[in-house]
Amino acid sequence: MSGSPTLPPESRLGSTLRRDAWWIEIIPIIIMMGGFSIYATVRAFENAYYSWGPYLSPFYSPLIDPQHHWWPFSPALLILVGPLGFRATCYYYRKALYRAFLLDPPACAVGESPRRNYRGETAFPFILQNVHRYFFYLAVLFIAFLWHDAFRSFFFDGRFGVGVGTLVLTLNVSLLSLYTFSCHSLRHLAGGKLDCFSCASFGRSRFAAWRVSTFLNERHMLFAWCSLVSVGFADFYVRMVACGAIRDLRLL
Ligand code: FES
């Protein structure tokens, strides 16, 4: 027998033979995801302070019908489904959220509620998580818009310049790109279902793409958290500048 902990025969929620503080892992997830969800919801409904000069908050990009010609609510609500759906169905976040919020199970080798009838993601509603690959295509589109916003943030009244906001928005879209392009779905697109690269058409380029996506994919969790913080901070920065709470420092 290996020394790895296993569940006791009579398993109940939280029962385990593990002696380490396994519960510590889920606390930052609850704080980060809970905090981000509250902040993002408030901001999405706020419908104010989402742009200043060449800066546009990532929560409102692409900006659709800001003058309310046909959409009476916050423009952020029109686009929310894309980024939200992509994150909510992300393979990494699924693991983290199931553990932290559903305690299903709370950690490796820790018991879940015996009343739960575990069926994985093979039945409603969790089977819907399989739409993740389609959200990936949508996310790539959003990344294109955000790069466009970052590019625009280098121009103040038509003249080239760099402000702190320029750096914030550019760093944010860089991290979001790393998160998006380290997605498991992209790695599967490049190399999934293939047993032999050299036998497949475009095998050489697919192998190269698979290697790059594998390198990024191994760091997916890191990019997931960094980009979550950066997108929240980018919105916060634009909001602070737009409402006059701080001044954007011009560096160039
Ligand atoms: S697996 Fe996390 S974004 Fe696709």
pLDDT in tens, 88-129: 999 999 999 988 988 888 889 888 887 776 677 888 888 999
Give the mean pLDDT of the chain. 92
Report how far ligand 1's centroid is from the alpha carbon of 180 (Å). Answer: 7
Cα gap 142→62, rounded to integer Å: 8
pLDDT for the residue 36: 98
| pLDDT of amino acid 1 | 41
Ligand 1 center to 53 CA (angstroms): 33
Q: What is the Å distance from ligand 1's center to 184 Cα?
A: 5
| Closest-lying ligand 1 atom to the alpha carbon of residue 86 | 3
Residue 9 binned pLDDT confidence (cut-offs 50, 70, 90) = low
Q: Please state, in angstroms and rounded to a whole number, the distance separating the CA atoms of residues 83 and 139.
A: 6
Q: Which of 223, 152, 147, 155 lies closest to 183, judged by CA?
A: 223
Q: Is the pTM of this model over 0.85?
A: yes
What mean pLDDT comes out for the span 245-249?
Answer: 97
Say what percent of the chain tops pLDDT 70. Answer: 95
Q: What pLDDT shows up at residue 8? A: 57
Residue 51 confidence (pLDDT)? 98
Between residues 112 and 188, the one the model is more confident about: 188
How confident is the model over 12-27, as pLDDT tens digits? 888 888 888 888 999 9
Higher pLDDT, residue 117 or 165:
165
Pocket test for ligand 1, best of 98, 132, 213 (most atoms within 8 A of CB): 132
pLDDT attached to residue 195: 87
Higher local confidence (pLDDT), 189 or 5: 189
Q: Name the region of 12 (left: φ>0; alpha: ψ -120 to 50; beta: rest).
A: beta
Closest CA to 13 of 98, 105, 97: 105
Question: Is the beta carbon of 91 within 6 A of some atom in ligand 1?
Answer: yes
Q: Is the CB of 183 under 6 A from ligand 1?
A: yes
User: Taking 50 as the threshold, does the pLDDT of residue 139 lie above it?
Assistant: yes
Task: State whether the beta carbon of 185 lies less than 6 angstroms from ligand 1.
Answer: yes
Q: How many residues comprise the chain?
A: 252
Whether ligand 1 lies within 6 angstroms of the CB of 92 is answered as yes
